[in-house]
Amino acid sequence: MHSRGALITLTLAMLAIIAGVLATEAGFTDYIMVFREPVTDQTYKQARSDVKYAGGEVTREYRAALKGLAVSLPDGQVDTLEQKSYVDYMEESGEVHTMSGGA
């Protein structure tokens, strides 16, 4: 049986493939911010405000497979946002590669 963490990691990988890799400005890094339950509209509003205050940008909103945001943050700001009570965890966005070949 797969653990919840493995399922979330797979979901994040699939979202990265679907969304594509966005070009990141120098000095910025892209992250997936996953919210801690319970998630409300106020959670999204507060997170958007905090990202903007940190000098970042929200690039995508997730409300189905996981609850959270894709964000682009200035270097050094991820630790500040990771400490917010509504954040479960943050994962750096990146390219996902699949293995080819038969087994």
The model's pLDDT over 12-48, given as tens digits with 9 standing for 90+, comes to 666 655 544 444 568 999 999 999 999 999 999 999 9
Q: CA–CA separation, 35 vs 66, rounded Å?
A: 8
Closest CA to 93 of 60, 46, 49, 51: 60
Percent of the chain scored above 70 by pLDDT? Answer: 70
- Count the Cβ atoms, other than its own, within 10 Å of residue 42: 9
Helix (H) or strand (E) holding 34: strand 28-35
The model's pLDDT over 65-90, given as tens digits with 9 standing for 90+, comes to 899 999 999 999 999 999 999 999 99
